């Protein structure tokens, strides 16, 4: 792996460092449309020997778990393979961050209680990632998720999301910014600040539309609908429902929220701001 590769964020996404890399461009196009298996297959040959590709493949498969509540064994196998390949603290920290996120998602979707593993892995990632790592903003965001949804620590979640937002801004990571805007907006909504919530949800939607992050647009539309008056709220929910149907019921938890009779999923927790 080259030094330039080691300085990249793990999850293949949009950005200037993708433009000279046809595989990463293709992976982004596939994952942005919910084609995670195809994206993982593109990364599979290099993932046998290259830590960066193995970590990227893991991240793609963990993302599938979050959007579909399925594919847990594939993600776990990919993660173990990546952990066997990593060679430096940056890579070890990135692998630990993925383990923490997978454990978080498994706990949230009630597949298995792995809350202690999630906290431990994210703490290990924080200890391993060097200052200035491009993966630190993502780590802060994921620690915010654990604080918000597993520990129910609103103050800790707010602090973590704020750090992640600042890091994503500094790194020019527009996709991560769409997530931080969304979660900061969710917390503003819970605190009774609808104007701030509306602004954050609108920014998240704008970024996802500009990036072409198709699988993330329906959740952004639905979240914005919850803080908009009628008739805009109904229009936004209808558009979200159309996109979910177009993508074959993804995200699964949003499909259940928008079409509960058509997509029952008793094993999935009540829909929340997951993505």
Q: What is the 3-state secondary structure (H, E, C) of 12-36?
A: CCCCHHHCCCHHHHHHHHHHHCCCH
Q: Would you tell me the crossing angle of helices 36-47 and 72-85 to the nearest 10 degrees?
A: 20
| The CATH number of domain 1-154, selected from 1.25.40, 3.40.50, 2.60.40, 1.10.20 | 1.25.40
- Of 146, 138, 187, the residue nearest 164 (C-alpha): 138
At 71, the pLDDT band (50, 70, 90 cuts) reads: very high
Write the pLDDT tens digit of every residue in 222-235: 999 999 999 999 99
List, in order, residues 6 or more apart from 62 with CB less than 8 Å away.
Answer: 75, 79, 98, 101, 102, 105
pLDDT at 264: 45
Q: Residue 40, preceding bond cis, omega within 30 degrees?
A: no
Minimum mean pLDDT range among 5-14, 237-246, 263-272: 263-272
Q: What is the chain's mean pLDDT, rounded?
A: 90
175, 214 Cβ separation under 8 angstroms = no
Tell me which residue of 194, 193, 251, 191 sits closest to 221, measured CA to CA.
Answer: 251
Can you give the pLDDT at residue 273? 54
Domain ranges of the chain: 1-154
Give the pLDDT score at 19: 53
Q: What confidence tens digit (pLDDT) does each residue in 174-190 have?
A: 999 999 999 999 999 99
**pLDDT tens for residues 9-57?**
566 567 545 556 899 899 999 999 999 999 999 999 999 999 999 999 9
Whether pLDDT at 272 is above 60: no
Which tens digits make up the pLDDT trace of 91-144?
Answer: 999 999 999 999 999 999 999 999 999 999 999 999 999 988 999 999 999 999
């Amino acid at each position: 792996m080259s030094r330039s590769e080691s300085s990249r964020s793990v999850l293949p996404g949009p950005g200037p460092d993708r433009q000279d890399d046809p595989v990463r461009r293709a992976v982004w196009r596939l994952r942005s449309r919910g084609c995670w298996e195809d994206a993982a297959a593109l990364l599979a040959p290099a993932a046998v020997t290259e830590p960066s590709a193995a970590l990227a493949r893991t991240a793609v498969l963990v993302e599938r778990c979050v959007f579909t509540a399925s594919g847990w064994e594939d993600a776990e196998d990919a993660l173990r393979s990546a952990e066997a390949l990593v060679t430096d603290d940056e890579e070890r920290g990135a692998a630990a961050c993925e383990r923490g996120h997978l454990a978080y998602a498994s706990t949230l979707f009630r597949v298995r209680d792995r809350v202690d593993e999630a906290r431990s892995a994210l703490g290990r990632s924080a200890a391993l990632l060097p200052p200035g790592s491009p993966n630190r903003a993502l780590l802060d965001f994921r620690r915010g998720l654990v604080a918000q949804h597993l520990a129910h620590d609103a103050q800790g979640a707010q602090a973590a999301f704020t750090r992640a937002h600042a890091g994503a801004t500094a790194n020019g990571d527009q996709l991560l910014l769409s997530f931080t805007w969304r979660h900061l907006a969710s917390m503003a909504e819970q605190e009774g600040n609808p104007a701030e919530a509306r602004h954050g949800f609108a920014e998240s939607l704008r970024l996802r539309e500009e990036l072409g992050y198709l699988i993330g647009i329906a959740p952004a539309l639905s979240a914005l609908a919850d803080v908009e008056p009628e008739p805009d709220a109904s229009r936004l929910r209808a558009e979200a429902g159309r996109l979910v149907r177009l993508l074959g019921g993804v995200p699964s938890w949003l499909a259940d929220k928008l079409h509960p009779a058509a997509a029952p999923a008793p094993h999935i927790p009540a829909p929340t701001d997951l993505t």
